[in-house]
Amino acid sequence: MVNIAALEPKVVWEHFQTLCDIPRPSKHEQALRDYLQGWAELRGLDTTIDAVGNLIIRKPATPGMENRAGVVMQGHLDMVCQANTGTVHDFFNDPIRPVLQDGWLIAENTTLGADNGIGVALGLAALSADDIPHGPLEVLLTLDEEAGMGGALGLEAGLLQGKMLINIDTEEWGEFYMGCAGGIDVNVRRDYACEPLPAGYEVRQLTVAGLRGGHSGADIHLGRGNANKVLIRLLQELGEVTDLRVASFNGGTARNALAREAFAVVAYPVADAATVAAKLDAYQALMRFELAGVDEGVSLAANPAEAGSVMARDAQQAVFAALHAAPHGVKRMSQRVHGVVETSNNLGVISIADGKVFTNLMVRSLLDSGFRNLAGEIEALFGLAGFAVETEGGYPGWAPNPASPLLALCQRVFREQFGGDSAVQVIHAGLECGIIGAKYPQMDMVSFGPNIRGAHAPGERVEVASVGKAWQLLQAVLAAVPAA
């Protein structure tokens, strides 16, 4: 374990220490928000909590900078909570305790929360530092970003005063982002009948594990395995060699994370045990071959389990046929922005137990029409299988503006500070800029951040040196903001 607050620059890391100490799962950020409001008020800063719970902290301009354009620094308080199987960690009560490895701060068996804790810490550092020149500052700290963008969606128009917004929620140092995907969640539900476990059947829990997982936007193009799809395919293939009956299925834990593990309790005739075992061995070898270079650590296991009932045959066939047909991964690459995913879907969470099926699919696209079209295709697919389908949390993408004055300012300052050119990107992951921009259409926006790897998965890490560079850049940009 490392003393985070002792890292340099201390003015940033002491705030990240606080974010590691106070649990902050999505929809449970109130304790952290209230602490930060109290911290700000003790420093004499103005604070506002809006109708949906977002926190806004305002700091006046330093003397002589009162005429500069106001800047909003924005990040989200919540984090994705993921842990490796066998790791005992209560994300609602336990602090995050990372270690330092080769210049990276890493949470070895859980998520770290560098997404977006580092961005929040950088904003708080600008508020607490007394030795940097700046115009009027606002720090907007939103809630519930990871579970549906609820804070940004509920933000009121007219509440923010700044003319420029710096979103500090990207993960590649040296790159400025000027656009992002929008998205929508598709939730499907269905009831099913159960039947008694047939006589002469043995029960096993099938487990798919060992996948890397990752961010369902930023990593969707890498071809990593999805444990839900891997296990569903296995069940379909087992159904071809034995009378497979399914008692339950549980896979994935977050809508915006690639499913790393999935579990199914199944039953089949005892007489087919050797056939099933051989199929499992062959299927594991096949998955390691297909996922070579990206997820060759995938593993399958079959352990004794218990079940009192199984899905009725007709329901099992309809449910798993629909799940097998459900899309996952890249739908289309952008024809406007080279090398960027345009539209994708993540089959993120599946729960089948006690007569009820629930599945969440998260659709993203750089085109609002793109995510709505794919969501419509998914709705039609599951509707044919008798599911009830609803969409929720739709949010717009952030349309790129290559002529952004703030982007040009950031590029110029980057060259002055670091002696080289930066890159400009559009990201397939969702940022809150699109939602905020729809409410504040005249606001000029850009996003940047330090190097973060493995966001939304255990082992998430942030490069310490790049955090220092991001702080250096932020200070210089604030000092260079022109007059309003």
Active site residue 171: no
Distance CA 327, CA 344 (A): 9
E strand or H helix that includes residue 349: strand 341-353
Q: Are 124 and 108 in contact (CB under 8 A)?
A: no
Which of the residues 138, 144, 145, 261 is marked catalytic? Answer: 145
Count the neighbouring beta carbons within 10 Å of the beta carbon of residue 174: 17
Q: Are 158 and 64 in contact (CB under 8 A)?
A: no
Q: Are 96 and 20 in contact (CB under 8 A)?
A: yes
Q: Give counts: helices (H), strands (E), the chain.
A: 11, 23
E strand or H helix that includes residue 274: helix 273-290
Active site residue 145: yes
Write the DSSP string, 383-442: HHTT-EEEEEEEE--B---TT-HHHHHHHHHHHHHHSS--EEEEESS--THHHHHHHSTT
- The residue to which tokens 């770290």 are assigned: 112
Write the DSSP string, 142-187: ES-TTTT-HHHHHPPTT----SEEEE-----TTEEEEEE-EEEEEE
- The residue to which tokens 């995050």 are assigned: 96
Count the neighbouring beta carbons within 10 Å of the beta carbon of residue 297: 12
**Structure tokens belonging to residue 271:** 């007489």
Distance CA 269, CA 418 (A): 67
Distance CA 411, CA 418 (A): 10
Fill in the DSSP letter of residue 373: H
Q: Where in the sequence numbering do the catalytic residues fall?
A: 78, 145
